[in-house]
Amino acid sequence: MSQWRNSLAAALATPEQLAEHFGTAPGPLQQVALRYPLRITPHYLSLIREPGDPIWRQCVPDPLELTDDQAADPLCEESLSPVPGLIHRYPDRVVWLVANECAVYCRFCMRKRQVGCGAASGTSDIAAVLAYISATPAIRDVILSGGDPLLLSDEQLEELLAGLRKIPHVEIIRIGTRVPVTLPERVTPELCSILRRFHPLYINTHFNHSQEITPESTRACGLLADAGIQLGNQTVLLKGVNDTPQVMKTLMTGLLKIRVRPYYIHQMDLVNGTGHFRTTVDCGIDIIGAIRGHISGLATPYYVIDLAGGKGKVPLLPEDVRREGDKLLLKNYMGEIVEYRNPLIT
């Protein structure tokens, strides 16, 4: 068995294992883990310095996950799915859910209703997806997501990528993955040798805090960059994790050092079970205001809200925000004005 599969098999997966490791009581977490699965790899576990720190908050279940009453699928991904496992929201690009598990189950996951939950309800029939993409010439950009695509075997990934490269109008392929952060040993020379055959290919990683930039994650990103893959990063704005300007500055400048270009800071989606991570929009705007001009433009990401109802991502700058009471009025890519209720944080 490969090193990365051994690491995955050794991951903490129950409240009892977590309690034994940290000397805490498992009881309060058991109901949470029954609804939303728990998995923490040995590498990511080693990054926790103390209970409640930024790494702990991202991966350890919290009873607050069961008190939130938002929508399970606020972005309407399921209604925008022409074939199972494929999301076609924007005219020229699709998201293909190719996996239903992750190395670590992040507590803020936008797809926590399905990822890691029993059967692969969010994944797809390969032939049906390829047939749809092939029959839709407007699609030029395919994003592999999930779950984490890099938890597929090398052979499975090669099959998917080869299938896409046979479609003439597919110009670029993107992969969204958190394994450089959570399971860096998955990034091997053999994997990179496969990926480099399918350029132009881009990878978006997912670092949320500078504690995640380690020698291991640096090595993983270096292997990918040396294979000619352009790396971007999508950070989620998380209360108690990275919701201050200084934490974000340190993260964004640190990413450039390991050849990862900051791309997005996401406002937390209005997903059920994640409310305790949500900040106000003003928090994100203040962070962008503090970053812009004070660090390199290369290190300055877009701050975006992914609008409910499948209306798409909207980038925000401090001067762009229109308000009506506790509502923001945001213009999406189609020119629609969409109301977004600014969370009230107590």
Task: Say whether 192 is catalytic.
Answer: no
Report the Cα–Cα distance between both ends of the chain, in Å, rounded: 48
Q: Would you say 102 is a known binding-site residue?
A: yes
Task: Say whether 283 is catalytic.
Answer: no
Task: Say whether 221 is catalytic.
Answer: no
Active-site annotation holder among 57, 111, 113, 249: 111
Active-site annotation holder among 90, 132, 202, 302: 90
Task: Say whether 59 is catalytic.
Answer: no
Active-site annotation holder among 106, 148, 239, 263: 106
Cα distance between residue 211 and residue 43, in whole Å? 12
Residue 105, judged by CB atoms within 10 A of its CB (0-12, 13-18, 19+), counts as buried
Task: Say whether 102 is catalytic.
Answer: yes
235 contacts 301 by C-beta, under 8 angstroms: yes
Active-site annotation holder among 59, 109, 192, 221: 109
Active-site annotation holder among 5, 89, 165, 196: 89
Active-site annotation holder among 39, 105, 269, 278: 269
Task: Say whether 117 is catalytic.
Answer: no
Q: Would you say 109 is a known binding-site residue?
A: yes
Q: Would you say 106 is a known binding-site residue?
A: yes
Question: In which element (H, E) is residue 204 found?
Answer: strand 201-205
Amino acid in position 49? R
Active-site annotation holder among 36, 57, 59, 93: 93
Amino acid in position 345? I
Task: Say whether 239 is catalytic.
Answer: no
> What interhelical angle do 245-257 and 281-291 show, nearest 10?
60
Active-site annotation holder among 102, 221, 239, 243: 102
Closest to 96 measured CA to CA, from 74, 71, 129, 73: 129
Q: What secondary structure letter does DSSP report for 168?
A: T
Residues in binding site for [4Fe-4S] cluster: 102, 106, 109
Residues in binding site: 102, 106, 109
Catalytic residue ranges = 89-90, 93, 102, 106, 109, 111, 269, 306, 313
